[in-house]
C-alpha cells in the first residue's frame, strides 16, 4: 500500500515520528491522554496567535506567542530534554 502525504509513522524505537520523510521527536508516551489533549490545545492556540500577530505586525505579541509554542512543545516532550533519557 502506498503512503499518503501527511501519513505518520513511528521510528522503530518510538522516539521519533516520520512525516513526509522528515523526522520529528515524538510526544512523550508517559503523558496521560488528558494532559496530551490539554497541551496540544494550548499549542494550537499559541500557533494561531503567532499567525495573528504576524498578520498585524505585532512583534511583541508574536514573541510571546512563540514562547508559548515553545513551552507547549517542551511540555509535550517534543523539545528540550529527551524524555527517553530521563
pLDDT in tens, 18-40: 988 889 999 999 999 999 999 99
The span from the CA of 62 to the CA of 68, in Å, is 10
At residue 5, the pLDDT reads 63
Residues 37-70 have pLDDT tens digits of: 999 999 999 999 999 999 999 999 999 999 999 9
At residue 21, the pLDDT reads 83
Note the residue count of the chain. 86
Amino acid at each position: 500500500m502506498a503512503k499518503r502525504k501527511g501519513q505518520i509513522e513511528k521510528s522503530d524505537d518510538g522516539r521519533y515520528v516520520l512525516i513526509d520523510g522528515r523526522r520529528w521527536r515524538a510526544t512523550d508516551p508517559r503523558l496521560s491522554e488528558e494532559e496530551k489533549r490539554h497541551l496540544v490545545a494550548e499549542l494550537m492556540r499559541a500557533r494561531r496567535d503567532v499567525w495573528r500577530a504576524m498578520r498585524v505586525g505585532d512583534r511583541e505579541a508574536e514573541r510571546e506567542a512563540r514562547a508559548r509554542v515553545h513551552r507547549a512543545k517542551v511540555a509535550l516532550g517534543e523539545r528540550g530534554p529527551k524524555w527517553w533519557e530521563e
